[in-house]
Structure 1
Amino acid sequence: MTAMTALSPWPHRWAVLLCVLTFPLVFVGALVTSTDAGMAVPDWPGTYGYNLFLYPWTTWLFGPWDLFIEHGHRLLASLVGLVAIVTLVVCVRTRAPRAVVWLAVGALVLVIAQGVLGGMRVVLGDRPLAMAHGCLGPLFFAWTALLWVRSSTGWARAAEPGTYRLARWTAAACGVTYVQLCLGAFLRHVPGDPSPRAFGHAVLTHVTLAVVIVGLVGLVWLLSRRAPSKGLRQIATAMAWVAAAQFTLGLGSWAARYALPGWVQAAAPTMTGSVGAAAALGWTQSLVLTAHVAGGALLLALSAAAALIAWRDAKDGH
């Protein structure tokens, strides 16, 4: 029996579970921000003096919405943290490849850091901490995607000769997407009285990067058509679909958050709202904003996975 076939499938199974659970965690976290429920529970790590897991479930389920979503976010985060611990233990006990073990270690470190950032944001009421929390969440999700791909028992066997050109463009798409996500976190957590000039530059940069990302993802998709790796082609196709959906959701988020652009209002004076004046958010607007954040995290995770596969194949081809 070779070392390849002797690898246990359990690290990969737990890695998949960790990644799958992290996506709804990102979505719920974004919903907490979209509905302004982040400070619904004033203490941490407990909930109104109770142990997190012993808080009365009737009060949680039938209480105010902001309490329901914030406490639920904490419970889901705790579950993800527990799965991260189990994943690392399984990787160590089954003697998974060293790279997989270190990815599992990184996942645990990131989820702990994310939990501490979220807790300190509540305790200190600090917006910069909220921004950092919003930046680290998608990074953790992308990391779990890397763990998913790398822990596959067929990782080395699936290697196909590739090119560094595709690998570089895929990595570029991943990097720019993360910068875009961090800028989005800044815009979502910006103080109530930002400098109009600085805020305007941030919005313009965000819009510009959206166009750049669509172009990069399109290029990755085109280059991947000739890639021998079926998995890479499939991920690149998924990236293209998500990027298209993200661009559409971005337009919807703009309309939800800042109403209609000035040139539209000039053409139709009866329409209300203006750029820079945040519109009151209802359920539809909140869900659009939340989906936009979650979609960005999904695009980052896909591009990270694609970059990992592309670099593996490029090294195999040289």
Structure 2
Amino acid sequence: MSSPYDPTGEEVSPVWPRRLARTLVVLVWPLIWVGGLVTTYDAGMSVPDWPGTYGYNLLLYPLSTWLLGPFDLFIEHGHRLLGALVGFVAIGFLVATWRSEPRRWVTVLAVVVLLAVIGQGVLGGLRVTMSARVLAMVHGCTGPLFFALCVIAACVTGPRWSRERVLAAATDSDASVNKTGDEEPGTTSVPPSPRRFWPFVLFGLAYVQLILGAILRHALPSASPTGFAHTVTTHVSVAFLLWVLTVVVYWRMRRCGDLTLSRPAAGLICFVGIQILLGIGTWIVNYGYPTFLQSFPGSDSYLLRSKGLIDAWIVTGHVATGSLILAVSTLLAVRLWRRHAVLNHPNSLIK
């Protein structure tokens, strides 16, 4: 096993667990995109069997039939192939952590990641074999949680997890405070870290939004119009509450001067703003123009129709951006928790 320190004495993380964890993050967001397209186009039942595809092994299905066949088949089988690729990378991540990662708890995390991707695959398969809309809703709600789990894996295996990097970021923030004149030159005090609950509040609200969105997206035939209207109202209200909260969180992260915290917080403001715009577009695509927009030219001629390419990307982008907000909230929570652990508990056993 290689030394966990470089020649300068700084703690470093093994290369392959870090690379594979980042690969998982890079792959899972497109997987959520493609899964969203499957739901947008109602293509979930275009392949009636599972785990195979029309009797073929998943990996042996004829390439020409997949690429040149109906679009519903293309995205559904593509979603399965991408999910299988994520599963193989998760297996590689587990093997890499078991062989080279000295922290056993990271290996346990890799086991959880693998079990989670298997669970997602089983949920997707049961949704097909049982043709259950509720399972599709659950599958859509657990996918973003798996994305957040992969972000955690990438954080704890990355170089920014090391105590030296955290202390360096804190020192840089101290220097920036001194340059502004808020502290006496030469002082070594570190700006206090924001309270750890803020990113978790963001995470909670973002996940509530995902659940509400899944209820609207997979609305059951038995759902009452009044219940649907209340869900829409709550969904919109929580969206604007989340946007205001991202500004508050950014302000608190910026006060400590740590760019590893303030930059993701600034990104969240942008992502939630984009999400609100995509939400308005999604409503127009699915249900027509809201009442306050019906005075605009062309709005009175709107007809509900099958979704075109742009329509589908607006709706799916709304879904995928919600998962991205959850992932960035997770990144912020993990980094802030690590900063607290290093600065306030230097003898912590969590390395």
Alignment TM-score, normalising by the size of structure 2: 0.84
Q: 1:75 to 1:254 in 2, by over 3 A?
A: same
3-state SS in 2 of match to 1:41: coil
- Confirm or deny: 8 A CA contact 1:176 1:209 kept in the other structure: yes
Q: 1:96 to 1:182 in 2, by over 3 A?
A: farther
CA shift, 1:137, in A, is 0.6
The answer to whether the aligner puts 1:262 opposite 2:291 as a matched pair is yes
The answer to whether the aligner puts 1:109 opposite 2:115 as a matched pair is yes
3-state SS in 2 of match to 1:5: coil
Q: How does 1:290-305 map to 2 (within 5 A)?
A: 290-305=316-331
Q: How does 1:72-91 map to 2 (within 5 A)?
A: 72-91=78-97
* Aligned equivalents of 1:252, 1:245: Cα separation in 2: 11
What are structure 1's unaligned runs of at least 5 residues? none
Alignment TM-score, normalising by the size of structure 1: 0.92
Specify the code of the residue in structure 1 equivalent to 2:148: A
Q: 1:101 to 1:270 in 2, by over 3 A?
A: closer
- Confirm or deny: 8 A CA contact 2:4 2:14 kept in the other structure: no
Number of equivalent positions:
315
- Confirm or deny: 8 A CA contact 1:162 1:314 kept in the other structure: no
* Aligned equivalents of 2:55, 2:146: Cα separation in 1: 29
CA shift, 1:270, in A, is 7.0
Range with bigger deviation, 209-218 or 41-50: 209-218
3-state SS in 2 of match to 1:194: coil
Q: Cα deviations across residues 91-110 of structure 1 (Å, max 9, x unaligned)? A: 01103423322221221111
Extract structure 1 runs of 4+ deviating beyond 6 A.
266-270
* Aligned equivalents of 2:296, 2:321: Cα separation in 1: 32
What are structure 2's unaligned runs of at least 5 residues? 171-189, 345-351
CA shift, 1:40, in A, is 0.5
Matched residue, 1:182: 211
Specify the code of the residue in structure 2 equivalent to 1:39: M
Matched residue, 2:349: none
3-state SS in 1 of match to 2:300: coil
Q: How does 1:30-45 map to 2 (within 5 A)?
A: 30-45=36-51
Instruction: Specify which of 67, 73, 78 is matched with residue 67 of structure 1.
Output: 73
- Confirm or deny: 8 A CA contact 1:163 1:313 kept in the other structure: no
* Cα root mean square deviation, aligned: 2.1
Q: 1:111 to 1:287 in 2, by over 3 A?
A: same
CA shift, 1:6, in A, is 5.9
- Confirm or deny: 8 A CA contact 1:162 1:315 kept in the other structure: no
Instruction: Specify which of 301, 306, 313 is matched with residue 332 of structure 2.
Output: 306
* Aligned equivalents of 1:165, 1:270: Cα separation in 2: 46
* Aligned equivalents of 1:13, 1:270: Cα separation in 2: 49
* Aligned equivalents of 2:302, 2:237: Cα separation in 1: 23
Instruction: Specify which of 225, 230, 235 is matched with residue 254 of structure 2.
Output: 225
CA shift, 1:238, in A, is 1.8
Q: Cα deviations across residues 237-281 of structure 1 (Å, max 9, x unaligned)? A: 22222112111111111111111113433787971569xxx6542
Q: 1:218 to 1:71 in 2, by over 3 A?
A: same
Instruction: Specify which of 70, 91, 98 is matched with residue 104 of structure 2.
Output: 98
- Confirm or deny: 8 A CA contact 1:32 1:69 kept in the other structure: yes
Q: Cα deviations across residues 23-72 of structure 1 (Å, max 9, x unaligned)? A: 10010000111111111000000000110011111000000000001000
Q: 1:266 to 1:193 in 2, by over 3 A?
A: farther
The answer to whether the aligner puts 1:246 opposite 2:275 as a matched pair is yes
Matched residue, 1:316: 342
Specify the code of the residue in structure 2 equivalent to 1:26: I
Matched residue, 2:147: 141
